[in-house]
Structure 1
């Protein structure tokens, strides 16, 4: 359903290590900006290629997300395992370069089948999230990992701040322009990375690559040996499944419910990105330091339900902004849970952990878009009950379940 930081936000990390993490955050920023660039134009691009109505385009968009997420689910453990074996640098740079080539394919795509090809390749290359987050475990102190996970999350949010806004503007001229811009960003990021990025995983901390562990089932079985980790992965799965209500149908819902333009849609994502970057890139580390990682996760999770209910029953488009503000506070939860999990896994398996997290998130993106767009299509087609906010009501219910799973796991298995 995956944050530029000020130099002083890196806290007590040595200067060299701080610069490495800031550049990894820059790579995440470029990666997520490229994804954000294309979000506002996907509905009209699908409509233009297929001639489908907006509700049908939403369903096709759901299947495109399904293809993307399936590849991430399958390849995130492989990418994480490869980064544990060969290091983070070659994995990050190779995937970013191939992602740039993929955007070129999508900019050219003359038919729907080529959009699917592009989304499949994007899913494989987008699994580099595991390697990027593993850099945090390589460099940061255990008690500071949540802060740095937040910085990377904030970098992704900042990519969404700039990406959709620019994508919405470019899309007003041509639906293909955002893909060209995304390709340029990824390729330039690769070139800069070749010159600047240093390796974070020393040879003595690497482990052999084995496909038995480097697959979704194998990595999850490995994580199940640590009860807190597997419990939090379950909570994250439900949390991210709820988030698909927003990820999968956001643009379609705003068009159907409030007749928003591409620019308005783009800047709604910009607002959410600014707030999420503030929460994850600047505030989560401070909150963890003040109230602890366990309570920080609780604090963030509690904001999900009111946000989704606000979207579901919004009487006018001003309530969209209210929901965005409330929902951004839920960004405290994920980095805090990442820190608790990372601190319970050995140093040579951090890539494996991040791959398992990425696979878990990707699994929700396999199930979620099809589920949420189907709910949207069923209640936005003027037949029977008309309630285009229905996916957000489903999301609120899922958030309640996620809170209960997190609470039960933390109560039984957490110790400071």
Structure 2
């Protein structure tokens, strides 16, 4: 792995740090503005919907103009959006800030395209594993920083997040070189921004199946992500400090699996089998989590979930990259992030509609649903595996 790869991994880590500072506070911050559970779910969704439309545009532009300028724009948007959110005085301003962060939030897909640019096909699984681990390391330190920021106020967490994103912006500006060797042909139509690729993505051989799988993976995960917090707080009767520590644990286990775990498993098993087994453990964990409302039991199941769930996205990203042409990596990764974003918009809304604040036991229902849907995704991935695994065996 060369210097550019490690700089990109560093930017990914800092970006993840910025993001994960917000995860433990967003639900409570929304409630602070008087939003109910469903309205709070829309804070998650508006960000994801904006990303859905923005990421294919950013991905395609990065294929035309280079990775670096688009990464700079994306990080700058995050900085500004978090400063607005941290100083918001009304729920409307908070929603505007979340939308702005989403509409410029293509930094992950551009960083993934850089990883594809600077790694060989043979090293790509390892590269995405390290990239995922860098992101996971952000999940380790982000909640810890969030916990300190929350001592000031929930809004302070957004300000700290914006300051950290600014560091990633400076590193990108001064240290990250351009990695795109062959720029895509510039379109004569200024409105050709890649939105049509949201449809065309479903016609790309091999990649289309992976996009569908990732869409449903994202939906089930964000059903869990949203429902997990009120379940932990209201059913298990834990506080925000304990919630933040749970995110810290998820991050630690994710780093272990995405560094050491991916390397070990990739030597013994192919990418598809790792993905399928990880999905199986994930679906089982979702169902088991809320069967017994006991904190010790919940933590044990969460450990099992976190270990194997952290393998899913690196395997999906690697398979998509290996099944894509080198000159289209930015576009394809942008499409992938876009589908993942719209799934992230759908999941919280589904969870928000299923729960009833007056009946805390309803917070179990989204977790059960996430388990059932993940099982369906697993079956679909098994049935279609020959259509997206062929390139790995060539």
> Common fold, TM-score beyond 0.5?
yes
Alignment of structure 1 residues 177-216 onto 2, 5 Å: 177-202=156-181, 204-209=182-187, 214-216=193-195
Q: What aligned pairs does 1:7-26 form with structure 2 within 5 A after superposition?
A: 13=1, 18-26=2-10
Q: Is the 8 A contact 1:299 1:332 kept in 2?
A: no
Q: Deviations over 1:253-294 (max 9, x none)?
A: 211112222211111011011111221233213322321212
Whether the 8 Å CA contact 1:74–1:215 is kept in 2: the answer is no
> Does the alignment pair 1:37 with 2:26?
no
Structure 2 residue corresponding to 1:336, chosen from 310, 315, 331: 315
CA distance in 2, matches of 1:313, 1:407: 27
- Residues 181-330 of structure 1 correspond to what in structure 2 (within 5 A)? 181-202=160-181, 204-209=182-187, 214-216=193-195, 218-328=196-306, 329-330=308-309
Give, in whole Å, the separation in 2 of the partners of 1:365 and 1:317: 27
Q: Check conservation: 2:21, 2:142, Cα contact below 8 A.
A: yes
Q: How many residues align?
A: 389
Q: TM-score, normalised by structure 2?
A: 0.93
**1:213–1:219 CA contact under 8 A, matched in 2:** no
- Counterpart in 2 of 1:381? 358
User: Partners of 1:90 and 1:142 in 2: how far apart?
Assistant: 25
Deviation at 1:134, TM superposition (A): 0.3
Q: Which residue of 2 aligns with 1:48?
A: 32
Query: Where does the alignment leave 5 or more consecutive residues of structure 1 unmatched?
Result: 1-12
Return the offset for 1:412: 4.2
SS at match of 2:46: helix
Correspondence for 1:6: none
Contact 1:160 1:269 survives alignment (8 Å): yes
Alignment equivalent of 1:133, drawn from 90, 93, 112: 112
**Unaligned runs of at least 5 residues, structure 2:** none
Q: Does 1:390 align with 2:365?
A: yes
The aligned counterpart of 1:109 is: 88
| Distance of 2:148 and 2:288 partners within structure 1 | 27
Whether the aligned pair in 1 keeps the contact of 2:354 and 2:362 (CA below 8 Å) is no
| CA distance in structure 2 between the aligned counterparts of 1:108 and 1:101, rounded to whole angstroms | 11
Aligned-partner Cα distance in 1 for 2:102–2:346: 15
Corresponding residue number in structure 2 for 1:123: 102
Please say if residues 33 and 162 of structure 1, whose CA atoms lie closer than 8 Å, have aligned partners that are also in contact.
yes
Matched-pair contact (CA < 8 Å) for 2:15–2:165: yes
Structure 1 residue 140, shift from structure 2 partner = 0.6
Relative to structure 1, the CA distance from residue 39 to residue 414 in structure 2 (aligned partners, 3 Å threshold; closer, same or farther) is: closer
Structure 1 window deviating more from structure 2 (392-401 vs 30-39): it is 30-39
Q: 8 Å contact 1:244–1:368 — kept in the other structure? A: yes
Q: Kindly indicate whether the alpha-carbon contact (under 8 Å) linking 1:67 and 1:366 is maintained by their aligned counterparts in 2.
A: yes
Corresponding residue to 1:175 among 149, 154, 160: 154
- Matches of 1:127 and 1:412, distance apart in 2: 28
Does structure 1 retain, via aligned residues, the 8 Å contact 2:70–2:110? yes
